[in-house]
Amino acid sequence: MAAMTQAHVLAGEDPAAVALAAEAIRRGEAVAFPTETVYGLGANALDPLAVARVFEAKGRPRFDPLIVHLAEPGEIARYAHAADAADPRVARLVERFWPGPLTVVLRKLTLIPGIVTAGLETVALRMPDHPVALALIAAAGVPIAAPSANRFGGLSPTRAEHVVRQLGRRVGIVLDGGPCRVGVESTVVLLAGGRAALLRPGGLPTEAIEEAIGPLEVLPDGPIGELAALSPGRQAVHYAPATPLELRAPDSPVRPTPGERIGLLAANEDGRRTAESVGGPFAAVEVLSATGDPVEAAARLFEALHRLDEAGVGLIVAQPVPERGLGRAVMDRLRRAAAASGA
């Protein structure tokens, strides 16, 4: 990719800005835009060269497939196998949860280029719940393939400035829609060929999905688990702050040696108090949610990690959160960040 000057950050609520971004998408360029989950780096999903630019800007390996963003549920039938598109469970989920943080993985039609799906026979589809994202997709007139707008392996962006920091010289336009409401990526469910399996916990609690369509298969994770074959990107190092991160219970004493700077990511106010009474002092402290509300914790997760990264600490100690509702997505991201640190 040609070296670029700094990205233009444009107000997402300005229709002229959305029109400019939509033209860039139609020209085959990549554009960063807000969704309710995290910021995405999008390109025309039907143009393999445009999609290649997204991989290049992110430094994302080609085995990691992208989610295709749609402006309306009716578009599913254009890109997915008729039998999957007509599956009543798909209809039920889409009716209840679209637009929203739910991605469905269905068998794809040939219209979707192989680069989008990393060669898989399935395609991931989602309708985001954000007016700027929906306006952009509608104005572009094409589905938009978009991963999170960060360098590969890095922290997902939940504000326009996070995108600028990581991709500022690799993308022409960043539409600014303010902070993301949900703050973690979408929940990904495989519904191809009659299956119903959780591929990634995310912004829609799995409990809500199971209430709508019954129990989901939980696939074994790890390098040789079935998850690796069905959703290749899940194997890669992901969601990691630049600083090493370690998961530790609040009552496990953490004592910095003289001159050592450690950051604390507390699950709640009690957790912060406990950690500070049995250990510390900490060079920087972030509390995910004072009351331990999992929705608030998810919304703050990446923001808090971005701030700890910038605080110049040598280690982030993160407290586990209960794995209920959005807590499952939070723990998934923290575990992967810890694994990436080798801590």
Q: Is 147 in the site for ligand AMP (CB under 6 A)?
A: yes
Q: Is 274 in the site for ligand AMP (CB under 6 A)?
A: no
Q: How many residues does the chain have?
A: 343
Under rule CB under 6 A, how many of the chain's residues touch ligand AMP? 20
Q: Which is nearer to Mg ion, 148 or 206 (CB)?
A: 148
Q: Which is nearer to ligand AMP, 142 or 199 (CB)?
A: 199
Please give the single-letter amino acid code of residue 159.
R
- With CB under 5 to 8 Å by kind, the binding choice for 233 among Mg ion, ligand AMP, none is ligand AMP
Q: Is 170 in the site for ligand AMP (CB under 6 A)?
A: no
Cα 113–chain centre separation: 22
Q: How far is the CB of 124 from ligand AMP (least distance, A)?
A: 3
- With CB under 5 to 8 Å by kind, the binding choice for 327 among Mg ion, ligand AMP, none is none
Which of the stretches 92-100, 118-126, 253-261, 267-275 binds ligand AMP when contact is defined by CB under 6 A? 118-126
Which of the stretches 5-13, 164-172, 231-239, 290-298 binds ligand AMP when contact is defined by CB under 6 A? 231-239
CB-closest chain residue to ligand AMP? 233
Q: How far is the CB of 17 from ligand AMP (least distance, A)?
A: 23
Q: Give the one residue of 12, 157, 205, 233 binding ligand AMP; rule: CB under 6 A.
A: 233
Q: Give the one residue of 44, 122, 148, 158 binding Mg ion; rule: CB under 5 A.
A: 148
3-state secondary structure the chain: CCCCCCCEEEECCCHHHHHHHHHHHHCCCCEEECCCCCCEEEEECCCHHHHHHHHHHHCCCCCCCCEEECCCHHHHHHHECHHHHCCHHHHHHHHHHCCCCEEEEEEECCCCCCCCCCCCCEEEEECCCCHHHHHHHHHHCCCEEECECCCCCCCCCCCHHHHHHHHCCCCCEEEECCCCCCCCCCEEEECHHHCCEEEECCCCCHHHHHHHHCCCEECCCCCCCHHHHHCHHHHCCCCCCCCCEEECCCCCCCCCCCCCCEEEEECCHHHHHHHHHHCCCCCEEEECCCCCCHHHHHHHHHHHHHHHHHCCCCEEEECCCCCCCCHHHHHHHHHHHHHHHCC
Q: Which is nearer to ligand AMP, 230 or 326 (CB)?
A: 230
Which x/- pattern, by CB under 6 A, does the window 71-110 give for ligand AMP?
----------------------------------x-----
Q: Give the one residue of 35, 44, 148, 319 binding ligand AMP; rule: CB under 6 A.
A: 148
- With CB under 5 to 8 Å by kind, the binding choice for 120 among Mg ion, ligand AMP, none is ligand AMP
User: CB within 8 A of 296, min separation 6: which ones?
Assistant: 288, 289
Q: Which is nearer to Mg ion, 29 or 185 (CB)?
A: 185
Contacts with Mg ion, residue ranges (CB under 5 A): 148
Contacts with ligand AMP, residue ranges (CB under 6 A): 64-67, 105, 117, 120, 122-124, 147-148, 185, 188, 199-200, 230-231, 233-234
